[in-house]
Amino acid sequence: MLVGHLARFGDEEVEKFCRERYASWVRQWIARTPGPRESLDLFAEIFRANYTGLAYTEEPDRYVMRLDPCGTGGVMRRTTEVRKIEKAYPWTWGRSGVSYYCDHCCIFQEILPIEMRGYPICVTQYSDNPNDPCIHLYYKKPELIPDEYFTRIGKTPWRLSQGKTKRQ
């Protein structure tokens, strides 16, 4: 509700709020969580606390976490009328129609970590259909992350940035 209220002052206020809210969390996450498997395990604990339907598998290049539904945004999208962002922004994965709540995953898990260390904590596959599961991809090495996951949020791919962490 708070994020929806902020949107009345402009979508930029939503992005600003999320950046300010999550920047210190992301710095701590990066400092305390050494790798993708540890991030997967920590997120699994967080989602289990939200009664998320959770399953994950290991593939050669990544871990895949399936949230059906995500215990926060996914439940809201399935059970209530949620406000949606009408325009496409980098912080909505370059898409319009993203829930005002769900955009924080893009900022927390992808944009801020790329700005701080050059690659995301995990990549979210957000579906327009609220009945689809939310998928999180935890790549085992940054160089395995497809370029499209950087460019859709306005960032330079890892392989091109060579790990530079300045804000792009």
Distance of CA 84 to the CA centre of its chain: 16
Give the residue ranges of the chain where pLDDT is below 70.
1-7, 162-168
pTM for this entry = 0.91
Measured CA to CA, the distance from residue 138 to residue 121 in angstroms comes to 7
pLDDT at 8 (0 to 100):
73
Question: Burial level of 161, CB count in 10 A (0-12/13-18/19+)?
Answer: middle
pLDDT at 160 (0 to 100):
85
